[in-house]
Amino acid sequence: MELDLLPLNLPGVPDQRPLVIAGPCSAETEEQVMSAARQLSHNGIKIFRAGIWKPRTKPGGFEGNGEKALPWLQRVKAETGMLTSTEVATPHHVEAALKGGVDLLWIGARTSANPFAVQDIADALRGVDVPVLVKNPVNPDLELWIGGMQRINGAGIKRLAAIHRGFTTYDKTIYRNLPMWHVPIELRRRMPGLPIFCDPSHIGGRRELVAPLSQQAMDLGFDGLIIESHCNPDAAWSDAKQQVTPDVLSFILDKLVVRSVSDSTESLKSLRQQIDELDNDLIQQLSKRMRISREIAQYKKDHNVAVVQTGRYNEILDKRGAQGVLCGMSSDFMKAIFEAIHAESVRQQIEIINK
Ligand code: PEP
Ligand code: MN
């Protein structure tokens, strides 16, 4: 089912890449919300985020201030003119947020993994015109993500966007949530008119990763970024490690290199195709080389010659090293490659000799 979309058309927000949504993970206190909002607005941010209903993995943590925080968001809007956004997970949240004047709603990753919950939210949105952003489900299931957006769209929400926030993994990695970029890239291919935001804060889980992930998102042609920003990140009540100050956020945004979409996605695609073909050639050539190496092994076996002949090995390393340097690669790289090729070659020769 195709999505029936309209441009996000956000009042007061210039239509440029990236569209930036920024603000704290959670609305903690009115003062914390206001100080983040004032600094962000002073730095040119036009859309404010703050979670007021927080889905926490375990009970007992800070689960958000709930409706009590809605007037704080109203104050943000009144004093700074920024649009406000928050996460909704139930029809009650939708109703309260709309009544409280929140301008954009997003559906969190845990909620979008549950079709019943998304359908309940969609039903609560029927007849309302509000932009809705749907985060990817925690598991890398593109169909479920698309299905969630179809449910919201089916309720008449045409100002719709996706947020890529990475995918849960059990393995230890440098990321909090694996980016698995191919998933949003495939989403772009399937739903070309759908704006896609990247959430480098929840992908990275660490503030040092916010800048490189944001750049990667721009290089892949994403439309927007949603970034967690707090005036005193280390003291944040949730997601302290991944939040950046409003000034650091401005620094990150200033440094972003934003190329035109046609440049980044189209030429990237064709460059990647070339890389795929070259890798294919490399594998074919390596396999041919191994075949010849096995023939040599047969000869060595028939003539009782030792497998490794140091003179020949050194000659290969020296010659290939020099050739590689002439072609613009480092001699260390060439050495590593040819040592690995030689090791595999010796392994295959020993197999033949011991047959
Ligand atoms: C959030 O944006 O604060 C949040 C809870 O994100 P996610 O649903 O991506 O975990
Ligand atoms: Mn968060």
Q: For ligand 1, is residue 334 a contact (CB within 6 Å)?
A: no
- Compute the distance from residue 266 Cα to the ligand 2 centre, in Å: 33
- Which ligand is nearest to the Cα of residue 50, counting in written order? 1
- Compute the distance from residue 90 Cα to the ligand 2 centre, in Å: 18
Q: What is the pLDDT of residue 272?
A: 83
Q: Which atom of ligand 1 is nearest to the CA of 163?
A: 9
Tens of pLDDT, residue by residue over 222-275, are 999 999 999 999 999 999 999 999 999 999 999 999 988 765 566 677 778 778
Nearest CA to ligand 1 atom 3: 25
Q: For ligand 1, is residue 51 a contact (CB within 6 Å)?
A: yes
Judge whether residue 197 has pLDDT over 90: yes
Mean of all residue pLDDT scores within the chain: 94
**Cβ of 214: how many Cβ atoms within 10 Å?**
27
- Residue 197 has phi, psi (to 5 degrees) of -100, 155
Q: CA-CA distances (angstroms) from residue 24 to 41, 196, 239? A: 13, 20, 9
**What does the pLDDT average to over 291-314?**
87
Q: For ligand 1, is residue 202 a contact (CB within 6 Å)?
A: yes
Q: CA-CA distances (angstroms) from residue 1 to 4, 146, 206? A: 9, 9, 37
The residue type found at 319 is K
Lowest mean pLDDT among 76-90, 129-143, 154-168, 315-329: 315-329
Strand-pairing partners, residue 132, are: 105, 160
pTM for this predicted structure: 0.77
Q: What is the pLDDT of residue 263?
A: 55
Q: Which atom of ligand 1 is nearest to the CA of 108?
A: 8
Tokens of 323: 């050739």
- Compute the distance from residue 25 Cα to the ligand 1 centre, in Å: 8
Could you tell me if 217 and 198 are in contact, meaning their C-beta atoms sit under 8 angstroms apart?
yes
Residue 218 to residue 164: CA distance in whole angstroms:
13
Q: What is the pLDDT of residue 211?
A: 97
Q: Which domains does the chain have, with CATH numbers?
A: 19-255 (3.20.20.70), 268-353 (1.20.59.10)
Q: What is the pLDDT of residue 79?
A: 98
53, 46, 45: which is closest to 27 by C-alpha? 53
Q: Give me Rg for the CA atoms of the chain.
A: 27
**What does the pLDDT average to over 193-222?**
97
Q: Which atom of ligand 1 is nearest to the CA of 165?
A: 9
Residue 147 to residue 113: CA distance in whole angstroms:
10
Q: CA-CA distances (angstroms) from residue 242 to 32, 85, 131, 177, 208? A: 17, 19, 26, 12, 8
- Which ligand is nearest to the Cα of residue 242, counting in written order? 2
Judge whether residue 294 has pLDDT over 60: yes
Q: What is the pLDDT of residue 206?
A: 98
Tens of pLDDT, residue by residue over 100-149, are 999 999 999 999 999 999 999 999 999 999 999 999 999 999 999 999 99
What percent of the chain has a predicted confidence (pLDDT) above 70? 98
Q: Which atom of ligand 1 is nearest to the CA of 199?
A: 9
3, 14, 90: which is closest to 55 by C-alpha? 90
Nearest CA to ligand 1 atom 6: 108
Judge whether residue 6 has pLDDT over 90: yes
